[in-house]
Amino acid sequence: MIEDDPFRCFVPYPPAKVSHASSGALSGLTLAVKDLFDIKGYPTGAGSPTVLAQSGIKTRTAPVVKALLDTGARFVGKTHTDELAFSLNGKNAHFGAPVNPAAPDRITGGSSSGSMAAVAGRLADIALGSDTGGSVRAPASYGGLFGIRPSHGRLSLKRAWPLAESFDTAGFFARDGETFARVAEVLFGKDRVTLPERPRLLLADDLFAQAVPEAERILRNAVQRIVPLLGQPQSVRAVRDMDALYWAFRWLQGREAWTADGPMIERFAPPLGPGVAERFAFGRSVSDAEVARGEAVRRDFRARLAKLLGQDGVLLLPTVPDIAPLVSAGESELDDFRNRALRLLCLAGLSGFPQISIPVAHRDDAPLGLSVIGPKGSDKSLTAFAVRVERAARIRLA
SS3 56: coil
pLDDT for the residue numbered 396: 58
Crossing angle of the two packed helices 242-268 and 331-351, in degrees rounded to 10: 110
Would you say 137 and 120 are in contact if contact means Cβ atoms under 8 Å apart? no
pLDDT for the residue numbered 395: 73
Which residues are designated catalytic?
A: 34, 111, 135
Q: Specify the DSSP class assigned to residue 85.
A: G
pTM of the model: 0.98
C-beta atoms surrounding 292 within 10 Å: 11
- What is d(CA 77, CA 124) in angstroms, rounded to the nearest whole number? 9
Which of 35, 259, 26 has the alpha carbon at shortest distance from 165? 259
Burial class (CB in 10 A: 0-12, 13-18, 19+), 362: middle
DSSP H helices in the chain: 49-55, 63-69, 113-120, 137-143, 177-188, 205-208, 213-230, 242-268, 276-285, 288-309, 331-351, 379-397
Would you say 311 and 375 are in contact if contact means Cβ atoms under 8 Å apart? yes
Would you say 248 and 293 are in contact if contact means Cβ atoms under 8 Å apart? yes
| Type of residue found at 154 | R
pLDDT for the residue numbered 375: 98
DSSP H helices in 189-212: 205-208
Percent of the chain at pLDDT > 90 equals 97
Which of 122, 35, 18 has the alpha carbon at shortest distance from 70? 18
- What is d(CA 142, CA 210) in angstroms, rounded to the nearest whole number? 17
Residues of the chain with pLDDT under 50: none
